[in-house]
Amino acid sequence: MNSVFYLSAAVAIVSTVLMLTRLNAVHALLYLILSLLSVAVIFYISGAPFAAGLELIIYAGAIMVLFIFVVMLLNLGDRATAQERSWLKPSMWVGPATLASILAVEVAYFLLHQPAQSLVPREIAPKVVGVALFGPYVIGVELASMLLTAALVGAFHLGSRHVEKSELRGLRQPANSETHDVDFAKPGIASRDDLVRVGNDRPAGAPRPDLHPHVD
């Protein structure tokens, strides 16, 4: 029982160190996922199955998929295929696979030989956690929901292209303001609002406003 804990703790530490020393972001993410998995195993054997499940689903599932998605998104280019081929080299996934198989053997051992004496006096069931979460901590739940809503709105705002365009212009203007300034004399651009609002409520017959006036 204790050896299982120490083994998974060692896997967590080793995979975190390997994560920090990787040069490639995808390999580092692989080791980070492994570290999260081993932390989930530690949660499970220390009597917190609900936290282990949440760790698996949210951290290793959702957040890491987000990370991988962004890393793959940023790597789009000519050498993307060559890079992906280098990611899938056998020497790259041998290390994570070994550590993950250690974890899998641990979980299998733990499930097959249900030990009589546990590491902790008693297991904290998900029901108790839920009662505590919606009893004395209900204010915290509301605050977390507001935080998540704010994060949703903020991520949407940061990700939209409209903000990028207007702020990019604002950032570059002071450097050489003549070349990058908006040419209001052009047809179709009546005011600065037209640049922002283009595509949304343009009349059908109206000429298409120049989206990149600084190019020519």
Binding footprint of another protein on the chain (CB under 8 A): 13, 16-17, 19-20, 25, 28-29, 32, 35-36, 39, 42-43, 46-48, 50-51, 54-55, 58-59, 62-63, 66-67, 70-71, 73-74, 119-122, 124, 128-129, 131-133, 137, 140, 144, 147-148, 150-152, 154-155, 158-159, 164, 168, 171
Closest by Cα among 5, 6, 7, 59 to 32? 59
Closest by Cα among 49, 44, 50 to 109? 44
CB of 201 to another protein, least distance (A): 25
* Alpha carbon distance 215, 172 (integer Å): 13
* Alpha carbon distance 114, 120 (integer Å): 14
CB of 157 to another protein, least distance (A): 8
Closer to another protein by CB, 124 or 182: give it. 124
Closer to another protein by CB, 8 or 210: give it. 8
CB of 180 to another protein, least distance (A): 14
Closer to another protein by CB, 13 or 105: give it. 13
DSSP character at residue 58: I
CB of 44 to another protein, least distance (A): 10
Closer to another protein by CB, 39 or 189: give it. 39
Closer to another protein by CB, 144 or 206: give it. 144
Q: Which residues of 83-98 are buried (b: 16+ CB within 10 A; e: fewer)?
A: eeeebeeeebeebbee
What tokens does 104 get?
Answer: 């899998």
Distances (CA, A) of 104 to 54, 154, 216: 18, 38, 60
- Helices then strands (H, E): number in the chain? 11, 0
CB of 188 to another protein, least distance (A): 25
